Structure 1
Amino acid sequence: MKARLSVLDLSPVGGEATQAEAMRETIAVAQAAERLGYDRFWVAEHHNMRSLASASPEILMAALTQATKTIRLGSGGVMLVNYSPLKVAEVFMALEALAPGRIDLGVGRALGTDGRTGGALRSAGSEAFPQYFALLNAWLLDAGGVEPITEAHPARGIHASPSGPSHPDLFLLCSSPETADFAGRAGVGMVFAEFIARADGGPAVSAYRAAFTPSAFREQGWAAVATIALAAETAEAAERLAAPMRASALAGLDGPGADGERPRFPRIEDALAFLEARRDDPRLAGVIARAIVGDPETVRRGLAQKAEATGADELFVMAVGPDLDSRVRSLELIKGG
């Protein structure tokens, strides 16, 4: 596979685990990813979702700076409009101080939650993103000693701490060609989330490359695609392990359950029964197509084909599976272990 390979972990709450346990499992997955030679390990931000535990990627990243030594660590991502750009710059400059040269700041323009929860977060709304993004750029480059904030800048006299000598690398999370175009014009890296967009990443990568303009962050463009992949020793075993993920996704298409959450399937047998009862649902094929599932050779071949088809420089594999062991084993098999 020519494209680099990295890991995106959403801190999923598998089986009967608690959210607290899921947070700790993410640290174990990161350590496995480092041992296996993956390039990056990114964590996510989701709010008010019982099935996902990572609402504060910066906290997880701080723990990961102490639990790992070589792998790059990043946010996939920080939902920028939920926060003060100055505070985000300061948090990630602090992470850069803890792990110099290993920190990636991936930001998104969405809320990472529903509108009501966004209000509780005091989110400024997605329309504020361009202004917030420009301020974040300025404070990071100023703190990193690259481009000092001048007296003519709206943020004059305000500086993010701690200062450099380095700063995090900056990326924009994308789910459309339009957002990829924004990332290209801004001269930052971009990651297209296929699992969110439910669309092929090729058009977004092309839009990014066409729009890319060199910046203080990078001279050349860098485009990644994030996708779901699950490998097991046999195709049959992989299909079985994928059942809870698929059942939850299919049930979620009918809307939230009585508790307002997407239904979860802690037991594989319950997920298999649910899928069997709905095997004629025309939406099931689309759910299955969202992930590359199979034996190691099948998954590695699927990832190589995706990299070639999209033109991505790097693929982020979402670490999925019904429990910690299956998630780690999948990453081992994908890397040829």
Structure 2
Amino acid sequence: MALLSVLDLSPVTGDATQAQAVRESIEVAKAAERCGYHRFWVAEHHNIGGLGSPAPEILIAALTQATSRIRLGSGGVMLVNYSPLKVAEVFMELEALAPGRIDLGVGRALGTDPRTAGALRSSGSEAFEHYFALLAAWLLDATGKAPIGPEHPAHDIRANPSGPSHPQLFMLCSSAESAAWAGASGVGMVFAEFIARADGGPAVAAYRAAFRPGPFLDAPWAGVATAALAADTAEEARRLDAPRRASQLATSMGRRQRFRTVEAAEAFLAEHAGSPALAAIEARSLAGAPGFVRARLEEKAAQTGADEVFVMATGPSLATRIRSLELIKG
């Protein structure tokens, strides 16, 4: 069985506030560590009412003090929104707080709409490759693994704090093309199935075919991230999964909508029963009794060739999210 990890988006559930959603992510991380998950990653989203955390680096800092063993990381930092030097410094400081436990997953997307990206002073996706090269150079320089030489445009600029180790570097992908780029860059890759609405197998294959060893990795490492929910019975799992399916359906119809109750979500799904968009969502949903969900995750790892499967912690409340992770891990 591939390693199991957790991706948490700090979802705003029920009548909770976004501030409460951020605090709840800390409780989910502590539960993930108790259950024996390998990593706990948090995401970056801006100007989305149903998600609470725009700053994964701050949440990770808090998590370094709330956990002691589980690896912690970003899934991910939207690199073009920021200075690569600042990202390198932030994550070297996180590595100093929790040596050997920090992952830096970066994405080329904006994590928001174009107007909000403008407010963030984002450089746009076209800057990603340049930013990524600078970020990698500063991380390697900070550990002395590959010092920046006098011919480099960033010579004499250091990412502090320096240290004996740097975060593991990953690229978040939603296409085979971006996965191949991650492989050629010699870093880890995680394919977001829940964003791409597609199976991760082709992307993992493209990544492995393109992989070139480098200072970050000697051999390819690929993960896939998918939404999954387990409950004591299949019927209860499907009921608890209704808000996620309903929200996804609303998004496919061009509007963001948060469903505060299971009942409201079920009513929305019933209203659109038979729609092709809902049928596609249902076909990709993974919710059920513990044995069923574990078996499906094992199949996913085998079919895609992934080294690790990230379970997106879903559910209509903190208690159901934690219970789902407990049941999945077994």
Taking structure 1 as the reference length, the TM-score comes to 0.97
Give the CA deviation at 1:248: 1.2
8 Å Cα contact 1:10/1:52 also seen in 2: yes
1:274 to 268, 273, 296: 268
Give the CA deviation at 1:289: 2.5
Report Cα offsets for 1:248-281 as digits up to 9, x if no partner: 111222212xxxxx11110111111111122121
Residue 73 of structure 2: aligned partner? 74
Report Cα offsets for 1:119-178 as digits up to 9, x if no partner: 100000000001000000000000012111100111001000000111000000000010
Cα distance between partner residues in 2 of 1:289 and 1:326: 22
Report Cα offsets for 1:36-57 as digits up to 9, x if no partner: 0000000000000000011000
1:310 to 304, 312, 315: 304
Residue 259 of structure 1: aligned partner? none
Cα distance between partner residues in 1 of 2:291 and 2:29: 23
8 Å Cα contact 1:97/1:164 also seen in 2: yes
Query: 2:325 aligned with 1:331, yes or no?
Result: yes
8 Å Cα contact 1:212/1:221 also seen in 2: yes
Residue 113 of structure 2: aligned partner? 114
SS at match of 1:106: strand
Q: What are the ranges of 5 or more consecutive residues in structure 2 without an aligned counterpart?
A: none
Residue 248 of structure 2: aligned partner? 249
Give the CA deviation at 1:290: 2.9
Residue 151 of structure 1: aligned partner? 150
8 Å Cα contact 1:251/1:263 also seen in 2: yes
Cα distance between partner residues in 2 of 1:319 and 1:126: 28
Residue 319 of structure 1: aligned partner? 313
Give the CA deviation at 1:291: 2.6
Cα distance between partner residues in 2 of 1:212 and 1:76: 21
Q: For 1:1-337, what aligned pairs fall within 5 Å after superposition?
A: 2-256=1-255, 262-336=256-330
8 Å Cα contact 1:227/1:291 also seen in 2: no
Amino acid at match of 2:304: T
8 Å Cα contact 1:145/1:166 also seen in 2: no
Amino acid at match of 2:318: L
Give the CA deviation at 1:333: 0.4
SS at match of 1:8: strand
Amino acid at match of 1:46: H
Between the aligned residues of both structures, percent identity stands at 70
Report Cα offsets for 1:23-81 as digits up to 9, x if no partner: 00000000000000000000000000000011000000000000000000000000000
Give the CA deviation at 1:187: 0.2
Q: Which runs of 4+ in 1 moved over 4 A?
A: none
Cα distance between partner residues in 2 of 1:335 and 1:286: 27
Amino acid at match of 2:10: S
Cα distance between partner residues in 1 of 2:310 and 2:118: 30
Number of matched residues?
Answer: 330
Cα distance between partner residues in 2 of 1:270 and 1:160: 49
Cα distance between partner residues in 1 of 2:141 and 2:282: 46
Amino acid at match of 2:179: A
Cα distance between partner residues in 2 of 1:302 and 1:36: 19
Give the CA deviation at 1:107: 0.2
Report Cα offsets for 1:187-235 as digits up to 9, x if no partner: 0000000000011100000000000000100101100000010000000
SS at match of 1:77: strand
Cα distance between partner residues in 2 of 1:281 and 1:179: 31
RMSD: 0.7
Cα distance between partner residues in 2 of 1:225 and 1:35: 22
Cα distance between partner residues in 1 of 2:285 and 2:54: 24
Give the CA deviation at 1:104: 0.2
SS at match of 1:214: coil
Cα distance between partner residues in 2 of 1:87 and 1:282: 44
SS at match of 2:164: coil
SS at match of 1:283: helix
SS at match of 2:59: helix
Q: What are the ranges of 5 or more consecutive residues in structure 1 without an aligned counterpart?
A: 257-261
